[in-house]
Amino acid sequence: MQFSAILSVATALAAMTPTVLGADFTFKKAAYTDCSWNKLGPEHAGYRGSCIGLFDTDHGIKVTSIASGCKIRGFQSGNCEGSSVIAFSSLQCHALRKPDYSYDIWSLRLDC
């Protein structure tokens, strides 16, 4: 009976643990390229080598953590293929869309 209660508590705690633990970088999406207007979304996790697809409402991202020596690369394709058009590693807001339409970023990948 005690073991069952302990197992239930442990399972409940594990279910509440955010998926960002152990991430190689974390970020919040923004509807504006300058991350203004306090409309940042929930925190997302990224891992080395995995491709993160973006939506047409994602105009900026605020990087909240990043592994040392790594860079986030932005691609115009939605599947991280081709040449990256931007690369950054600073903990700040980064625009994913340029007002002059010189580029739109549709996917991100962390390279270390």
Amino acid at 29: K
The β-bridge relationship of strands 60-66 and 93-95 is antiparallel
pLDDT, tens digit (0-9, with 9 covering 90-100), for 38-85: 778 899 999 999 999 999 899 999 999 999 999 999 999 999 999 899
Nearest to 44 by CA among 32, 31, 54: 54
End-to-end CA distance of the chain: 48
- Answer whether 0.95 is exceeded by the pTM: no
Counts of helices then strands in the chain (DSSP H, E): 1, 8
CATH topology of domain 19-111: Gamma-B Crystallin; domain 1 (2.60.20)
pLDDT, tens digit (0-9, with 9 covering 90-100), for 18-45: 446 789 999 999 999 998 877 788 999 9
Amino acid at 31: A
pLDDT higher than threshold 90 for residue 102: no
Integer Cα distance of 82 and 64 in angstroms:
26
Integer Cα distance of 88 and 7 in angstroms:
43
Domain boundaries, the chain: 19-111
Nearest to 105 by CA among 52, 69, 68, 64: 52
Amino acid at 11: T
